[in-house]
């Protein structure tokens, strides 16, 4: 922990499974206390006299200061899940704690004060078309009713600066681009200095470039304000760009949860595997056929952290007299962590290969022999 | 073109009638808005899935509104006479016309208000809820400002409806341009007076529509 910048969100381990698998070069977790805790959440909707279940026993903990992503296909229940955190939806059963306090029983003034501490942004921005940018951002401050006019104006200017929209202060939402609208949404959600920011498909209506700039803004806010962010999305790219941990939801259940690097590199559940292969444009079965004729031992190597940039393959080739060919692979950064996964075919004598693999493993590289 | 008939017309009487019509319109529009706007808001807020969802109240109010709207105004005008007398002390004249005009037009405006509020995107209401806004804050800060264009359009349509209602008021001694055209144009066959009142009513409706459109345009930001 020493030497870590205090604002670094880090990657929080210890909440998901599989957290122990990681390489020590990954930044240590910021020991954020559990800020949001959902336990045994069930939610069903009554449609035509029948109960349609939407969530089936969700257990989830979000640590203070992390960016927690929830990914699922439409209809998986993710939208319901995020709306539980500010009680836009009420659970049919189970408890939701924020900062240790159970919120499920809140009503009236208590509920309104909770909501002022939980900011939310939306897929379709949901700005007030009749108000200017500045008045949109001022609105939650007016609702809270704690600040005077001058203080509200000062706070609005501060927020406009933060999201980079100072020059658009007096425009109406209809005069802004999608990315700018979402920035107004973010400024508005941050106005009351919330503990948590909920993002409901916040980038799904934006083009890829704008998506990245909005995501980078969210990452910056997380870093600079140490604000906890919970987001839902159906795009793995969003998760990969900014999340520390991810939960994969399918059929109203969390089917996989853990640090993003872990889930990305070692997806366990079929749904997760599908999300990852869609994001990476890889199709393992097609690959297996394509490489059937390649000689040698086919191996999947996974590396996380700074090893990604070390010349371990060349070293091993020279030291052990083996050879390799790269069949497919990707080197990337997941949030701030470099990592890679490659499919290689090694040729050489058994003993040399075994020695090389042992060396890779000793350096924290994961080797999976496929053939 | 022979315009000599214009000099035969009793212009001062037309002036008085015009002013009466305007007074009836202004007075009834004021009270129609005061009654119809809250009624429309309650109809909206108590409907299914809204902030104050209350099926029983919503159905009861909806029934009252539908009943009042299904009675032709001319019949409502006569049927309401005892009520009018109870409220204003008279059954005739300007004052006697305002209660039936309001009771006839307010349910109509209420439905238009309800429709205008329904046009506000649910997501925007949800965003305000997520900020911790109370129902009153959502109403005053979101629903009314966001639907202002629609509300003004509704009030314009109601004002024009009220113009035709005021003309019917002439049948039961309400005064105004309608009264004039019935008395002179219908009973005395003075077609030219009828023509003048028609032109005046047409101009009035045109002005109302144009003013309404201008206001709607000015307050709509989308």
Domain ranges of chain B: 15-219
CB contact under 8 A, B131 and A127: no
The answer to whether B141 faces chain A, any CB pair under 8 Å, is: yes
Which residues of chain B does A122 touch, with a Cβ-Cβ cutoff of 8 Å? 123, 126-127
Handedness of CA A237, A238, A240, A246 (dihedral sign): negative
Per-residue model confidence as pLDDT tens digits over A242-272: 999 999 999 999 999 999 999 988 999 999 9
Closest-CA residue in chain A for B137? A143
CB contact under 8 A, B129 and A88: yes
Q: Give yes or no for a contact between A199 and A68, defined as CB atoms under 8 angstroms apart.
A: no
Whole-number Å distance between alpha carbons of A36 and A228: 9
Whole-number Å distance between alpha carbons of B188 and B185: 6
Q: How confident is the model at residue A31 (pLDDT cuts 50, 70, 90)?
A: low
Residue showing tokens 């008939």: B5
ipTM for the complex?
Answer: 0.85
The answer to whether A136 faces chain B, any CB pair under 8 Å, is: no
Closest-CA residue in chain A for B128? A140
pLDDT reported for residue B185 = 80
Closest-CA residue in chain B for A194? B131
Instruction: Mark residue A348 as left, alpha or beta (left: phi above 0; alpha: psi -120 to 50; beta: remaining).
Output: left
CB contact under 8 A, B141 and A140: no
The number of angstroms, rounded, from the C-alpha of B185 to the middle of its chain's C-alpha atoms is 26
Mean pLDDT, residues A336-349: 88
CB contact under 8 A, B127 and A122: yes
The answer to whether B82 faces chain A, any CB pair under 8 Å, is: no
| B6, pLDDT greater than 80 | no
Which residues of chain A does B138 touch, with a Cβ-Cβ cutoff of 8 Å? none
Which residues of chain A does B124 touch, with a Cβ-Cβ cutoff of 8 Å? 126-129
Q: Give yes or no for a contact between B19 and B203, defined as CB atoms under 8 angstroms apart.
A: no
CATH node for B15-219: 1.10.3720.10
The answer to whether B215 faces chain A, any CB pair under 8 Å, is: no
CB contact under 8 A, B132 and A111: yes
Quick check: pTM over 0.80? yes
Q: How confident is the model at residue B221 (pLDDT cuts 50, 70, 90)?
A: low
Angstrom distances, CA of residue B154 to CA of B6, B117, B157, B161, B164: 37, 11, 5, 11, 16
The answer to whether B123 faces chain A, any CB pair under 8 Å, is: yes
Cα of first residue to Cα of last residue in chain B, in angstroms, is: 49
Secondary structure class of B155 (helix, strand, coil)? helix
Angstrom distances, CA of residue B47 to CA of B32, B62, B179, B206: 22, 10, 41, 35
Per-residue model confidence as pLDDT tens digits over A141-197: 999 999 999 999 999 999 999 999 999 999 999 999 999 999 999 999 999 999 999
Q: How confident is the model at residue B215 (pLDDT cuts 50, 70, 90)?
A: very high
Using N-to-C axis directions, what is the helix angle for B93-118 and B11-45, rounded to 10°?
Answer: 40
CB contact under 8 A, A139 and B130: no
- More reliable by pLDDT, A362 or B158: B158
Q: How confident is the model at residue B1 (pLDDT cuts 50, 70, 90)?
A: low
The answer to whether B146 faces chain A, any CB pair under 8 Å, is: yes
Compute φ and ψ for A12, nearest 5 degrees.
-90, 125
The answer to whether A170 faces chain B, any CB pair under 8 Å, is: no
| A70, pLDDT greater than 70 | yes
- More reliable by pLDDT, A312 or B19: B19
Most confident of A299-303, B3-7, B25-29: B25-29
């Amino acid at each position: 922990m020493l030497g870590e910048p205090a604002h670094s969100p880090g990657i929080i381990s210890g909440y998901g499974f599989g957290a122990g698998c990681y390489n020590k070069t990954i930044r240590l977790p910021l020991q954020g206390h559990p800020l949001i805790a959902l336990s045994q959440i069930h939610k069903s909707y009554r449609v035509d006299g029948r109960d349609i279940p939407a969530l089936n026993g969700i257990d989830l903990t979000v640590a203070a200061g992390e960016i927690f992503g929830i990914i699922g296909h439409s209809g998986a229940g993710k939208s319901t899940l995020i709306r539980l955190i500010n009680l836009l939806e009420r659970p049919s059963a189970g408890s939701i704690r924020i900062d240790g306090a159970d919120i499920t029983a809140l009503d009236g003034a208590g509920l309104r004060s909770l909501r002022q501490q939980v900011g939310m942004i939306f897929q379709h921005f949901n700005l007030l078309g009749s108000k200017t940018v500045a008045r949109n951002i001022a609105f939650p401050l007016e609702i809270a009713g704690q600040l005077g006019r001058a203080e509200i104006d000062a706070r609005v200017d501060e927020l406009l600066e933060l999201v980079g929209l100072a020059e658009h202060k007096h425009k109406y939402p209809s005069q802004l681009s999608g990315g700018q609208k979402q920035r107004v949404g973010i400024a508005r959600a941050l106005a009351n200095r919330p503990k948590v920011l909920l993002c409901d498909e916040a980038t799904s209506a934006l083009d890829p470039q704008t998506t990245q700039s909005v995501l980078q803004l969210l990452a910056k806010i997380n870093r600079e304000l140490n604000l906890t962010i919970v987001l839902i999305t159906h795009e793995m790219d969003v998760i990969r760009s900014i999340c520390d941990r991810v939960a994969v939801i399918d059929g109203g259940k969390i089917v996989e949860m853990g640090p993003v690097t872990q889930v990305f590199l070692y997806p366990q559940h079929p749904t997760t595997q599908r999300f990852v292969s869609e994001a990476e444009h890889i199709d393992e079965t097609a690959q297996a056929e394509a490489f059937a004729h390649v000689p040698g031992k086919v191996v999947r190597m996974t590396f996380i952290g700074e090893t990604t940039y070390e010349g371990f393959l060349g070293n091993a080739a020279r030291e052990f007299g083996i050879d390799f060919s790269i069949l497919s692979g990707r080197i990337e950064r997941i949030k701030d962590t470099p990592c890679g996964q490659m499919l290689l075919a090694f040729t050489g004598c058994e003993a040399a290969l075994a020695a090389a693999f042992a060396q890779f493993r000793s350096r924290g590289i994961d080797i999976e022999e496929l053939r | 073109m022979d315009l000599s008939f214009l000099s035969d017309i009793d212009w001062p009487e037309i002036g008085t009638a015009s002013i009466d019509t305007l007074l009836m319109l202004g007075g009834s529009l004021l009270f129609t808005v005061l009654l119809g706007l809250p009624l429309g808001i309650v109809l909206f807020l108590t409907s299914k899935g809204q902030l104050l969802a209350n099926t029983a109240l919503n159905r009861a109010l909806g029934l009252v509104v539908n009943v009042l709207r299904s009675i032709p105004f001319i019949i409502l005008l006569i049927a309401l006479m005892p009520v009018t007398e109870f409220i204003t002390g008279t059954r005739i004249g300007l004052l006697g016309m305002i209660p039936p005009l309001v009771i006839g037009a307010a349910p109509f405006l209420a439905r238009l208000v309800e429709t205008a509020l329904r046009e506000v995107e649910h997501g925007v209401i949800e965003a305000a809820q997520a900020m911790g806004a109370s129902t009153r804050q959502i109403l005053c800060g979101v629903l009314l400002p966001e639907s202002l264009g629609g509300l003004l359009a509704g009030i314009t349509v109601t004002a024009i409806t009220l113009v035709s209602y005021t003309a019917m008021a002439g049948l039961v001694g309400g005064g105004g341009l309608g009264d004039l055209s019935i008395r002179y144009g219908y009973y005395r066959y003075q077609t030219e007076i009828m023509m003048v009142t028609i032109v005046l009513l047409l101009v009035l409706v045109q002005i109302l529509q144009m003013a309404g459109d201008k206001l709607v345009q000015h307050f709509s930001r989308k």
